[in-house]
A and B are shown apart, each in its own frame.
Chain A
Amino acid sequence: MTVKNVHVDVLVVGGGIAGMQSALDLADQGYRVALVEKEPSIGGKMIMLSKVFPTLDCCSCITTPKMSAVAHHDNIELLTYCDVQAIGDRPGGGFVIDVVQKPRYVDIDTCTGCRQCEYVCPIDLPSQFDRELGAVRAIRVPFSTAVPQKAFLDIDNCILCGKCQQACPVEAIDFAQQPETFTVEAGAIILATGFELTPAGAKAEYGAGELLNVVDALVMERLLAPTGPYGHVLRPSDGKEPDSIAYVQCAGSRDKTLGVEYCSRVCCMYAIKQAMLLSGALPLADITIYYMDIRTFGKGHEQFYQNAKAMGIEFVKGKVARITEDEDKNPVVRVELIEDGSKVVERAHDLVVLSVGMLPGYNPKSLYGVPVADDGFAAIPAPNIRPSVTPKPGIFVTGAAAGPMDIVDSIVLAGAAAAEAAAYLEEVRTPSPQRAAIEEAVHA
């Protein structure tokens, strides 16, 4: 493995859609960028999705080209499976960042991504990419559209039998690999560390993650994706094709008991999207969406909602109080209807999807010195005029690291963060009184 010390204009942290877009926006304008991603592949959550609202574009068809553009750009140094360990100020401006390359146990320059190692590996493990419904091997190329298309070994779930080493045609597997630390020098940093989902066990009323046929919406994305674990929409308890599917909206957002008072902004739209895709995949299935109110504020979103209603998707205004299961593992939804005189009804479905919320995934305070706001996402002192500027000079934020947002908004904010970072670099080189005044206003 050859890791060198890297000198760039901007370090982008996180290789989801937001980080990739900021990196590309800067690199296309001639800035040198390093993109550090903690996972073995870039792509973030977006590469897990089936199709995107409101256009219903195939998600991997629009994400994969961005991923390879990042990997092949002359101005981008892609650092996957790396963790930022420490950050210091560089004398004269900018940052010195210590990064550790975690061992892949595979030489990334030699590996051709042929997956022969994966096929001989005897260990099947739950696939995080398929939300544990599918399997991966201990040594694997992370997923079919991973970038880089290179294997890595999950040594904590390996018996070290050495079969992969015998199978690899190019001698890429190296059990002696060790973590390696190197430094990145950068003039500015963009945080694009994304979000996490409401944990499965969050709500006892909804089964606390124990009911097999109550899944979260990212599971449904995988079930709907052509590369998904089953190749069909089946329910996890027994592989039955569901005939009745229900969505529970705001499952983890706008919920004081969970300390999440905000609206996650994407759940109404992704539920409508999935409902539409389901009525295509399972034309005979009944699809119900239990909601408190539907929020469709984006371009083309309201039309999307109206189309879903016209397709026969049932929207039921009500508050889901509890989900239990019957003896056939069918989830039973107890709902207090809002429009029907507060009547409480119980309805059984084959599969229930929780429209889980977007939670902060990473706290940048201790390492980057960027505080978080009350909602747990990065603090943004002037959201109206500079939505990608954090309180820490030289560090910017984009995508869901700044708060719940969809792909369109992530891309817009990524461009904004790139422009702010570029302006900051210029400012350090040739200070101007006008910008100094703006800075002062923001950081006051």
Chain B
Amino acid sequence: MTLTREEAKQRTAILKQVRDQHQETVDRTRARLKDQQTVRRQICQQLRGGPKIVPEIAEATGLPAHEVLWHITAMKKYDLVVEVGQCGEYYQYAMAKETES
């Protein structure tokens, strides 16, 4: 749907106003997002080198294994990561794009 200029302006104004009202939670969530992006970058870097299991990623990045699992689970849910098979007692994960090509 295309907005008129006036509508688009109004939207931006409302968003800014709501942002001002929620400054504290916005700041907290921004910090959270930053951390999330840092961790994701590390995990993706590992997965670009080929499919991996959680302990491998944890060891290579120094991140706690349960955190790696949580992020992998999140990325899998939103189609960024796929499960590609099982390796012993662990499942292996890969970047979604790599498996497509």
Contact = CB atoms under 8 A, between A and B. Distances in A.
Interface in A120-136: 122-124, 126, 133-135
Given A123-B33, A171-B1, A160 B91 contact: no
A194 to B, nearest CB: 27
Contacts of A241: 86, 89-91
26 contacts: A124-B74, A134-B77, A135-B74, A135-B77, A155-B22, A156-B25, A159-B26, A159-B30, A160-B15, A160-B22, A169-B1, A170-B1, A176-B18, A229-B73, A230-B73, A234-B91, A236-B69, A237-B69, A238-B69, A238-B90, A239-B65, A239-B72, A239-B90, A241-B86, A241-B90, A241-B91
A137 to B, nearest CB: 8
Interface residues of A, number: 36
A393 to B, nearest CB: 43
Interface of A: 119, 122-124, 126, 133-135, 137-138, 155-160, 162, 165, 169-171, 175-176, 212, 229-232, 234, 236-241, 243
Contacts of A234: 69, 91
Interface string B3-23: 000000001101100110010
B60 to A, nearest CB: 14
B36 interface: yes
B55 to A, nearest CB: 6
B89 to A, nearest CB: 5
For the complex of A and B, the 8 pairs showing the least CB-CB separation, nearest first, are A135-B74, A238-B65, A239-B54, A124-B74, A160-B19, A239-B69, A175-B18, A241-B89
B29 interface: yes
Nearest to B27: A159
Give the interface SS of chain A, mostly helix, strand, loop or mixed.
loop
Give the interface SS of chain B, mostly helix, strand, loop or mixed.
helix
Given A122-B33, A169-B1, A170-B1, 14 more contacts: A124-B36, A135-B77, A137-B78, A156-B25, A160-B18, A160-B22, A160-B26, A162-B15, A165-B11, A175-B18, A237-B69, A238-B55, A238-B58, A238-B90
Contacts of B25: 155-158
A286 to B, nearest CB: 14
A382 B97 CA distance: 64
A159 B32 CA distance: 10
Contacts of B73: 133-135, 229-230
A69 B18 CA distance: 37
A236 B66 contact: yes
A319 B74 CA distance: 38
Contact of B54 (A123, A137, A175, A238): A238
Given A158-B26, A243-B89, A119 B66 contact: no
Interface in B77-91: 77-78, 83, 86, 89-91
Given A134-B77, A158-B25, A240 B89 contact: yes
B53 interface: yes
B79 to A, nearest CB: 8
Contacts of B54: 238-239
A234 B22 CA distance: 38
Given A119-B78, A133-B73, A239-B72, A162 B11 contact: yes
B1 A123 contact: no
Nearest to A125: B32
A239 B33 contact: no
B74 A134 contact: yes
B80 to A, nearest CB: 10
A159 to B, nearest CB: 5
A45 to B, nearest CB: 22
